[in-house]
Structure 1
Amino acid sequence: MTGNGIYKGSTEPNFRKTWDLAEYAQKAAEREAEEKKNAKIRWEKKHGKFKREPTPPDVKIVEARDKLNLEENLNKTVLVPYGASVGRRGKGAGYYCETCDETYKDSNSWIDHLNSKQHLRATNQTLRQDRATLDDVRKRLAWLKQKIADEKKHVEFNLSQRISERKAIEEEERKEKKEKKKIRLKEKQLNTKKDDDLISVENDTIAQMMGFENFGSTKL
């Protein structure tokens, strides 16, 4: 035991999960209201009486985001107060959305949340797209045409550059082979001259031994 006495309270930490009844009652009421609203919408759609809510004037069309940094808190220790989050609600360990005040434990559910209607509605965005005008289509086609032309030029430039580089390499190899052949020929000529000189010396030696001044000569 960690108690200090019969007259003092226990200092043991209480790890038992506590439940906020008021919060859960509020969540239950919100869920019930949402279910009633969805049931009403389904009934109105079925009977042709459904009218879509008007789009807010300052709503933004959803745009492509930059690359998400999912490894931002990888291998890091994050201090989270005990009881700060209940379920997904509140800031806890994981991917936290400040707008919706919710925490997600894995990257898949986090990305799903960012693309959900709940998050888009909270960030005042919509998935509806503006209808493209004829001028927009023409501008897009002109941009695509220019992009294809630029890519073609880039490919042609790269091809010409590669051909030039290959020719330079082949020329260098040709020069190297020619130089090696020249060296081998020079060595061969030098070796032949050495052999001729050696034979000449041997012939002179033999001639002297036999009493001839010059072996093989017809001069008197």
Structure 2
Amino acid sequence: MADRKGAYGGGGGDTDFRKTYDREEYARRAKEREAKEKEESKARYEAKMAGKKYHRRASTPEDVRMTTAREARLDVQSRIGTTQIVTGGGVGRKSGVGFVCSICDLSFFNNHEYIEHINSPGHLARSGQSAEVVKATLDDVRERLRYLSRKRKEESRVDETDLDKRLEKHKEEEEREREEKRRKRNEKRRSKKQQDDW
């Protein structure tokens, strides 16, 4: 048979550029997947017979922790009136201006969407938390009540019956608020000046 030439002058018979598949590797993967699905199906059935809800285990169970209450409050109020440009090149499903979840690579236009996302099962799973909530024990409740009682006593130690003390305290709070506003305003001016200098 004579050499065949392709449309561009090259030979048309060489197919070494095509991807070759390792059939044994794919067969091994298929067996592993089937075994895993069979094991999960068995666990699901056993949970159903025991009257419990089945939860799929994460790939690394030691890294997964139960969902607990947030240790600190979400700082949303400090960002009121500010703008944050999200640069991601459209990597996430949402991009633009707003609150950013770096774990899920999403941005949200308002704090309600952001907080709703943070409490969502998808975000909890990506952050390494299970959907199961830690149940408070009797000792936990007692400790929390003791803490709240101590906190209330500390706050009530200031004599609230003396009008002069209350007025003085109110003036100090107003002065602190004014100072904080002044500081934020100066910070904003400095950042705007730096942006203009660029």
Task: Give the TM-score normalised by structure 2.
Answer: 0.41
Q: Look at both structures and tell me which one has the larger radius of gyration over its CA atoms.
A: 1
Task: Give the TM-score normalised by structure 1.
Answer: 0.38
Higher relative contact order (CA 8 A, sep 6+): 2
